[in-house]
Every structure is written in structure tokens, then in C-alpha cells.
Structure 1
């Protein structure tokens, strides 16, 4: 049995999520794959090497977040790395006002390169080591704040809460085996952060069927 072309895999996986990729989005995803491989040869952007793995474990993993954003007009992605999930979501939600926060200079440079290459409007890239104090200084600006396994859950909530507008939602992408102690540590901080109760949603990725756990809290 032959393995499917990565872009066809992306299209089919996106379709299973109810997402139709425009020709422009497909073209950009193709370029994204190429740039990931080129940059990865000299900068450690991702441990994945094959385009197929990048499509499944980065692109489709990121796209699976889309239904949980509803129609949020603004999003901050904390610890964005090579753009997952934030930049991927921007390619299918061009109207999204997006801020990517990344502490590592080489990864931030990669994000800047892609945003400039595609001339994407409405994208802000901030190279910073984010702390709760810095998040408070930035203030409430976002309807949604997301992070893909970049922080322990408690730390993520401490960073996300000051950035959220009232009614906004923090969304942490975690693996299925999230330790109970990590959940409880976050729960104990929610009231002081003016966040509601934790909500949990299990999900499975297209193609691979890998399990994901989304942990959410509303301000």
C-alpha cells in the first residue's frame, strides 16, 4: 500500500474536522512544510523529520483546535515554537488577530520569516520570556489564549488569565495522561486568577487517532 502524499493527507484530515482548505491555504501549507525542513537542517524547530509526521503531528494537531475557538476574533499562542497551533490556525482563519509569543530567538525568527513571506496581516510576534508580571503589564487583550504543552497547567493559567478579556477562554493542549497533581495545582489557583472551573474535552487526531486532552477555563 502506497503512502499518501502529505498534502492529500492534510486535506483529508482537515475535511474530517469539517475544515475545507482553500487553494491559497494549501499552497501555504506546502511552503510551510518545505521551510520547516529547510530551517530544521540548521535550527532545531521540531524533532519530526518526515513531511507526513509534520502534517499529522503538527498541522492536523493544530487544526483540531479550531472548533474549540468558536469565532474568537483574537488569539494569543504562548510558547508558539514553530507556529503550532497559532500560525496554522491563522492560515485557515485569515480574519484572526493573532499574537505569537516565543522566547527562543531562532524560532521567533522563523515565525517572522513566514509571516513576511506570506504577507500575513494581523499577526504580532513577540520574542519574550513570558512571566505573570509581564502578562499583567500587557493587559486583557484576547478572547482566547492557547498553548500546546509548553507549560505546566498551573503556569499556563497564571500566564493566560491576565491576557484574557472578560468571557475569554484559556485552552491548554495536553496529552491524555495529564497527572492528577498537575490538574489539582491548577485548580487551586483558578479563583485567585478570576477563572471559572476547569473543563476537559478528550479528542482524537485525524489519521493517527492519537488522543489529546484539551483543558479549558473561562474568565
Structure 2
């Protein structure tokens, strides 16, 4: 991938220094991919378009400032990419110890401002995050529960979603009250970026939600 082509695909210009950090990240990922399944083998030939640019496009929608908590960071998408592009603090939540080790290694080698937490999301204490991101992790209904658990009262969620987005929004609306905005993906004709804000649990769901949480230590 060339710098100019990346900027063209992203629809925004980044510095060459920032681009070379992305190149360094990709090189590390491919090396670790030999022993650790970070991305699907089928997607390796289109890694830049399918994973890097796909993650980077969140920059068009995220506020310029604010701590990001990235859920299920896995191979670094979108968390590592956003940390490189924003040169800002990003908290990466990843329950798999091997993947968490990879994320720490990338962060150390590239001198990124990240913190890696290797725990199940449900067991992490509230991080008072204003911004939460995720890519291909779980249903919108579950993501909203994580937003409420980890975020501020005015938390915003930015999620990369696919063909089932409308169904997930309808399902979530049975439990939550929220504002949703949808934006077309630059990398996938069937993909969308959704922004969730003004999140509140519906009356009657909160007590039920609390009861379910009490029945499972540290869980929802």
C-alpha cells in the first residue's frame, strides 16, 4: 500500500510519519499471524482495504478529542489503528491473553498511547469512557449494555456493522432508548458505521437487567 493510495481510500490525508506507523503495525501483525490467528487467512491479500482502511474510516465520525475504549480489540482493529491515527489514549479490552500480548507488543514497539486490559468486558470496572468503539464483536444489544457499564452518562458508541444492522437496531430498541445515526462504509457496500448516543435503558428493563447481573458474578 502506498501513502497516496491509502489517503485516497480513506478520503483524508494523513502524514507520512503516521502512515509508516501503520505500515509497521501491518508488518508486526503479519509476523504474528504465522502463529496466532489475528485475521482470517482469506483477508490477508486485502488486509489494508478490509481491515486498516475499514477501521481508519471511523476518524470521519469520532469527535477529535475524548478517551476511546475499544471493545474486543483482537488483532488491533479498530483500536490500534485509531491510536496511531489520533496519537491519543486508547484503552484496548481483549480477553484472549495471546492477543492481549500481541497488542501490548505492538503498542511498545510503536510507542503508542494505549492501555491493554486482558479481562472479560463484564468484569472490568467502569472506565467512564466518553467514546466506545468496536468492530465485529457482538450484537448491538450487548454493545449497548457495555456502553452503559463502561461509559459516562453521555457516552457515544461508534460501531462497524454489516447486513444485520437494521435487525439489531430493532432488537435493541426493545430494551433501550437511544439515538442512532447510520453512515455507509467506504470499504464494504453492505457495511455501515453506526453512532449510538443518548442511551437509556427502558423502564422495567433496568430491574430485570440488575437481577440477571446478580445471578452471575461479574456478568450481565
Scaled to the shorter chain, the TM-score interval is 0.7 to 0.9
CA distance 1:202–1:50, shift in 2 (3 Å): closer
1:210 to partner: Cα distance: 3.0
Contact 2:58 2:158 in 1 (8 A): no
Tell me which residue corresponds to 1:166.
153
Tell me which residue corresponds to 1:124.
115
Contact 1:174 1:213 in 2 (8 A): yes
TM-score between the two structures when normalised by the length of structure 1: 0.82
1:202 to partner: Cα distance: 3.0
**Number of residues paired by the alignment?**
198
Matched, 1:33 2:20: no
Q: How does 1:54-93 map to 2 (within 5 A)?
A: 54-93=47-86
1:110 to partner: Cα distance: 0.8
CA distance 1:177–1:154, shift in 2 (3 Å): closer
Among candidates 183, 196, 208, match of residue 169 of structure 2:
183
Ranges in structure 1 where 5+ consecutive residues have no aligned partner: 192-196
Contact 1:198 1:215 in 2 (8 A): no
Deviations 1:29-71 (A, max 9, x none): 1111211111111110101466651110111101111122122
SS in 2 for 1:201: strand
1:148 to partner: Cα distance: 0.7
Contact 2:43 2:50 in 1 (8 A): no
CA distance 1:52–1:72, shift in 2 (3 Å): farther
Contact 1:205 1:211 in 2 (8 A): no
SS in 2 for 1:114: helix
Among candidates 10, 15, 22, match of residue 6 of structure 2:
10
Deviations 1:138-186 (A, max 9, x none): 2252111111120111111101112222322022211033352x32321
1:8 to partner: Cα distance: 4.5
CA distance 1:104–1:140, shift in 2 (3 Å): closer
Tell me which residue corresponds to 1:194.
none
Ranges in structure 2 where 5+ consecutive residues have no aligned partner: 199-220
TM-score between the two structures when normalised by the length of structure 2: 0.81
Tell me which residue corresponds to 2:203.
none
Tell me which residue corresponds to 2:181.
200
SS in 1 for 2:47: helix
